[in-house]
Amino acid sequence: MDKSADYITEEKRKSLEVELEDLRGPKRREILASLEYAKSLGDLSENAEYHQTREDQGKLEERIAKIEQILQFSETVHGGGGEVIEIGSKVTVQKDGTKEEKVCTIVGSEEADMVAGKISNKSPFGEALFGKKKGDKVSFKTPIGVVNYKILSVS
């Protein structure tokens, strides 16, 4: 696996495809209907509803373009499970000097969610873990200094 490539999981690809279908269909029709209604209110230069709807339309089209780009250029991975840490790997680590264990999953940058324990492969922590195995030690720089972890398990 190329550490610098853009990856998404099958689960994320499916959710993006569902979102794209919704945005292209019902959401687009809803905005067009709102736009028609706002136009019917008269003078467009001072029509706040019209301007807001146009702004909403711009955001919708921007999101559609972003999802299309992600789906086109991201490689879909089918989960980790090997001995070497890669996209989809579930990793248990322990910070040096503590007994506290952290469990995280390495994901592509589009899926990163620290609260859910999903770490981007492009983050400093993700880059440090990528390609390592159980028992390896990793370190990376943070704003408060260098942090060291030991990899306890990979699945």
User: Of 76, 110, 129, which closes a domain?
Assistant: 76
2-45 pLDDT, tens digit per residue, is: 666 788 888 889 999 999 999 999 999 999 999 999 888 877 78
Q: Can you give the pLDDT at residue 81?
A: 67
Is 112 a domain residue? Answer: yes
Are 24 and 62 within one domain? yes
- The predicted model scores a pTM of 0.75
The number of residues in the chain equals: 155
Q: What is the CA radius of gyration of the chain?
A: 22
Q: Can you give the pLDDT at residue 20?
A: 97
Q: Are 113 and 123 in contact (CB under 8 A)?
A: no
pLDDT tops 80 at residue 128: yes
Report which of 94, 89, 95, 83 is spatially closest to residue 108, judged by C-alpha positions.
Answer: 89
User: Of 22, 51, 76, which closes a domain?
Assistant: 76
Domain that holds residue 19: 7-76
Q: Can you give the pLDDT at residue 41?
A: 83
Q: Can you give the pLDDT at residue 38?
A: 87
Q: Can you give the pLDDT at residue 124?
A: 93
Long-range contacts of 36-39 (CB under 8 A, 24+ apart): none
CA dist 71 → 51, 115, 143 (Å): 30, 24, 33
Is 2 a domain residue? Answer: no
Which runs of consecutive H residues, i.e. helices, occur in the chain?
Answer: 10-22, 28-40, 48-73, 124-129
Are 135 and 115 within one domain? yes
Are 110 and 145 within one domain? yes
